[in-house]
Structure formats: structure tokens, C-alpha cells
Structure 1
């Protein structure tokens, strides 16, 4: 059996609850700045999360939920501009400390780092969003802790396609058996499992009803020694929080 070499982290919803209190809010701020009367409330945004990628989400909204909007001739530039403004507001929210890491995330990352475990980010969000989240939560040099930042449009097909995982593994010269993924959504687990990467899921309010039958362990959060996780599926082997020993046990199960 291959020895575990690397931890591959999704970002939105996995490292932080960025969707409801970060990206959604930032989208609305961008719409307001552009003079649009669009408002993505929590319920609508949950529906929009069926599509990964911010620019793709705007298009999906107009195709399915706001079909009467008259698209401008320079529609691609219009979408890119809205998305760029959203990213600006998102990084602003991060700099104001309004989007903290989820329970147990910083502890696990530090433990993996201390153990010399290789790490990567594997996400559909933009590189700028990754940088903003890491630097505002883990420190200015934290992006360098991750050997590969697989983000944004680096591959044409986003999650649930496995392409982003294939790309990250190739960059790290790893086989799927030598890595483990951390995801939070159905699109995430579809992507990682299609790449044959074992996956640990931590759900959130938007994804709690998703199908995680392909995951090897499903938790409500990563937990802390004094704040135990709840096991929703799989075997935590007597652990009450997700540490490197449990991660290795799941990888080798």
C-alpha cells in the first residue's frame, strides 16, 4: 500500500465558511456597486452553488433565475467585471477578519506542516481568493506552505470534473493513492473520487444534505481536543478530532 505523502485541501466551505458569509455577501456588494438590483439571499445562493466557479455562477443565475435581464453586447466582459469586483469585496471582508477558518483547520495544517507532510490547495476559486484567505487567517507566508495552488481556471473543466485533481497530482508527481483530499460538497467529492483520491468530508449548512457515499469519512467539522466532531459516516477509530494520525488511518484503510 502506498504511503500517504500529501494533503489536498479544497477552500470554500472546507477551510472556511466562505460561501454564505463571504462570497455571497461580496457578490451582492459587487451587484450594488454596478447599479444592479440583484440580491442573492441565503436560499437562492444555496441553489446557485449547484454550479462551481464565480463567473459560471453569474451565468447560471441569469439563465435560470433572472431570465428577463437583458444581457449587454459585451456580456463576457460584463461577467468578468462583476466577478473581479466580487473578488475585491471578498478580499476586503477577509482583511476585516469576517471570514475565520473552520474549527480544527489551522491545527491540522500546523500539525501536517510540523510533520513535514506535503500540502496543496485544490479549488475552483480564484488564486487571488486563495491568497487572501490564507494570508488573512494563517499569516503572510502561509501560501508558501502549500507546494501547489491548483485554483481558478488552471484547467478548463471545473469540479465536479476530476481535472483539477489530476493536474495537482501531476504537478506533485504523486499517484492518487499517495494523497488524501478534504472536501465539503457533492461537486467536491465527485471531483476527488473521480480522480481516485480518498476523501474526508466536513459538511456545512449548504452541503449537509449532499450525497457523500463516496467519501471515506464524513464529519460535521474537523474538531478540536476540547470540541469533538460528530461522525456522520465512516470510522473515526476512537478519535474525537481530526489529527494527522486519523488522516493517515483513513488513507490506509
Structure 2
């Protein structure tokens, strides 16, 4: 099974000026019943990298071209590839986590249903327990919920535990496939000695199930998992990415992160890491202005969008006007 990192006692060491505080409420600019207007990023949008100079709207990025990633000595490769889970490894949110939340609410007769648009807004809050708490705080707690704050913490935890059980059943049945290119990129990284981890705000058991059942036990044994409550503050706080770098004993600047959301991007950049966005169903129109590269997915041949060589080049790139 994948290695799961235990709960640390130390908090993030990221500078305050680079840290985004974890929201405990639904964003004021996007009420639950009103979907906000989002704008596409003018950052690096690569739809089919082939090396050389890639145009990116207001800016361009100089990318070193190489005939084969095997020509790179180990020191030039990323020290680690850090993957978010939901939306990056698997597009789980709409037909996975959301369905499992709703089944849990129905089992407990709470009279709550999260539709597709509403869940898209709730995803701006990192963590399932935090998501439920923020929702109930804004729209009102169910009649069956406890009345005290302390009891409500336990109530939400019990709901999340059941939701995780239902979600894991979906994963074990392999009803949700890996996104294109995930296996290829991970295999290439592991073969070349690049450390691989999954860093997620989701429950550790759910993330472990995805890695074990969908990537297989042989890969899972080589992948570390940092998930759930392993850090005291979740994305957009950089704590989980800084924990991964610290655990591996490497510099954050030597890591490349693959994310799909604005809060994940904020966490990676605040940690001082390069970040590639692979857009998912819920995040396609989010603002990725700070991303180092943006793709529809990782991709497999003949529609491969990037590889380990691209990640290595990304660490060396320089912006030009």
C-alpha cells in the first residue's frame, strides 16, 4: 500500500505574505445560489507542447528543447512530482464525491441535496468536513443536527466517515477511471528516480483507495500520500506541499506540482513550487493566472500534452516579455 505520512506537530513555515488563509465560509463573492463569473487565465496555456518558445497571451515562456528526457542527468530532473488527487488523478468530484455526500445526507434523512452547480461553489472550500460545516453555517443546520458547536464537530465527522465509505465503494468497483496520462507520467518519474507523492485535502482513506485500486499495488508501494488532516490548515494554505518537501528532504523549488484548482495552485505557488494545471470538469474556468503551464490533461500519445522532460524544462524556464 502507499505510504501515508502521520500527523505532524509543526505548522507551515511559509511566509505570511505568501500564505492564503483557509476560508471557513462560502465566498461572499459567490453566494450558494448564484454561480460567479469567472475569467480565463492569461498565464501559460499550452495545448500541445513541442519544445521551443510557447506563446501565452501577455507573456511567453522560454522552454529548453531536448530530444529525449533520457538525456537529462538525474540532477536536472525534478526532485519530486506532487499530484493533487481529485480532478488530477481522477475526475471524481461531480460523479464521485458529490454523489457520496448526497447518499449520506439521504441515509441520515437530513433533507439536503447538493446539485452540480452548488457543489462547484462548495469546492472553493478545501476539505469535506470544512465544506459541510461552511454550508450548514450559512444555510442553517439540519433539525437532526446537535445544537452545540462541539457536538456538531462530531456530527460532521460522522457524516464524512460515512461519505468516505460510500466513495471508496465506487473506487473499489473502478467506476471512475484514471485521467489520461497519469499512469504514463508516474511510471516515467518512478523509473528515473523522481519521488512521487499525492497531496490532497480529501480523506486519507479515500486517497489511498484511489492510489491502490486505480494505480495498482506495485505503484502504490512507491508513492507517498499526504492527505486529509495530516496538516492543520488545508489548501490554499501551502502546508501540505511544504510537508511533502520536508518529508522527502528536498527543496520546494525542486518540486513540480500537478493541480486542477485555483486553491491548489495557490497552495503550490505559496510553497515556492512550479505548478502545472490540468483542468477538470469543475475548474475549467477558474483563474489560473499564476500557473506555470495549463493543459486540458496530461494526455497519452497521440494526444500527449506534456511529459517528465517538460517538467524538467519548467524548472529552468525564464519569462520573457
Please give the TM-score of this superposition, normalised by the length of structure 1.
0.90
2:164 paired residue number: 87
Aligned equivalents of 1:110, 1:54: Cα separation in 2:
30
Distance 1:168 1:143, change over 3 A: same
Partners of 1:21 and 1:52 in 2: CA distance: 18
State whether structure 2 residue 270 is matched by structure 1 residue 194: yes
* 2:288 pairs with 1:212: yes
- Give per-residue Cα distances to partners, 1:119-165, cap 9 Å, x unaligned: 1111111210111101111113432221x321111111100011111
Contact 2:241 2:267 in 1 (8 A): yes
Task: Choose between structure 1 and 2: higher helix proportion.
Answer: 1
SS in 1 for 2:217: coil
**Does structure 1 residue 241 correspond to structure 2 residue 305?**
yes
Structure 2: how far apart are the matches of 1:68 and 1:167?
Answer: 34
Q: Which residues of 2 match residues 108-187 of structure 1 at below 5 A?
A: 108-146=185-223, 148-187=224-263
Q: Distance in 2 between matches of 1:143 and 1:125?
A: 17
- Aligned-pair CA distance for 1:68: 5.8
2:101 aligns with one of 8, 13, 27: 27
Change (3 A) 1:68 1:156: closer
Note the residue ranges of structure 2 that are not aligned, 5 or more in a row.
1-74
The CA deviation string for residues 45-93 of structure 1, in whole angstroms up to 9 with x for no partner, is 00111101000010111122x3263441321111011000000000000
- Aligned residue in 1 for 2:142: 69
Deviations 1:155-178 (A, max 9, x none): 111000111111111111111121
What's the RMSD between the two structures over aligned residues? 1.4
Q: Report the Cα distance in structure 2 between the residues aligned to 1:87 and 1:190, rounded to whole angstroms.
A: 26
Deviation above 6 Å: which 4+ runs of structure 1? Answer: none
How many Å separate the matches in 2 of 1:163 and 1:85? Answer: 27
Instruction: Pick closer, same or farther for the CA change 1:89–1:68 going to 2, 3 Å.
Output: closer
* TM-score, normalization by structure 2: 0.71
Per the alignment, in what secondary structure is the counterpart of residue 121 of structure 1? Answer: strand
Give the total of aligned pairs: 238
Task: Give unmatched runs, 5+ long, in structure 1.
Answer: 229-239
